[in-house]
């Protein structure tokens, strides 16, 4: 009996030690979902998600994730599905392909941007990088709300 108790205590202690030594990823903030490029399917259009620099995702209030092959598809999907309440929006920084919160990104929008579904959005973590990229493309730099509005106008007129 004592051996079982000691073993259970040791297991509990090991679990607590691992929990305190692990990286602080569970801050309560939603994290972007893992996307398997070349395999995962866009929730909006059904195409395979192939390019990280254009991929986007949302985490819903219930914790479920939605994945998209194009930032414009993410905006369009949630325009058409207002019942799916978004907790967090994610896009990739175009130059580094690192995830960032979409609400904090700057968007370059223009016809010269060849995104997978032709919406023409590229996201940037830094406004200066977005402005430099846009300068040679006859493109606009927009914030999150402006980008969503631009997608709405483009799709629904």
How confident is the model over 11-54, as pLDDT tens digits? 444 443 333 333 334 568 999 999 999 999 999 999 999 999 99
Comparing 138 with 88, the larger pLDDT belongs to 88
The rounded percent of the chain whose pLDDT value lies above 70 is: 82
Structure letter (DSSP) for residue 80: H
pLDDT for res 49 = 98
CB 124 within 8 A of CB 95: yes
For the chain, percent helix, then strand, then coil, each to nearest 5? 35, 20, 45
pLDDT for res 152 = 85
How confident is the model over 55-82, as pLDDT tens digits? 999 999 999 999 999 999 999 999 999 9
pLDDT for res 150 = 92
Quick check: 93 pLDDT over 70? Answer: yes
Predicted model pTM: 0.81
How many whole angstroms separate alpha carbon 152 and alpha carbon 157? Answer: 7
SS3 100: strand
Q: How confident is the model at residue 10 (pLDDT cuts 50, 70, 90)?
A: very low
Q: What is the mean pLDDT of the chain?
A: 86
The two tokens of residue 149 are 């509005």
Phi, psi of 77 (to 5 degrees): -55, -45
Quick check: 135 pLDDT over 50? Answer: yes
């Amino acid at each position: 009996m004592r051996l079982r108790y000691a073993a259970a205590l040791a297991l509990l202690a090991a679990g607590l030690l691992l929990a305190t030594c692990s990286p602080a990823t569970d801050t309560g903030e939603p994290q972007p979902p893992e996307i398997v490029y070349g395999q995962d399917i866009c929730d909006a259009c059904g195409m395979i998600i192939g390019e990280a620099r254009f991929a986007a995702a949302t985490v819903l209030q219930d914790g479920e994730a939605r994945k998209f092959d194009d930032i414009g598809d993410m905006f369009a999907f949630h325009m058409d599905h207002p019942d799916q309440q978004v907790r967090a929006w994610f896009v990739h920084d175009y130059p580094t392909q690192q995830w960032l919160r979409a609400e904090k990104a700057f968007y370059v929008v223009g016809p010269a941007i060849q995104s997978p579904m032709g919406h023409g959005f590229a996201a940037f973590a830094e406004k200066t990088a977005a402005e430099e990229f846009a300068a040679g493309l006859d493109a606009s730099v927009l914030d999150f709300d402006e980008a969503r509005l631009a997608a709405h106008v483009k799709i629904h007129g």
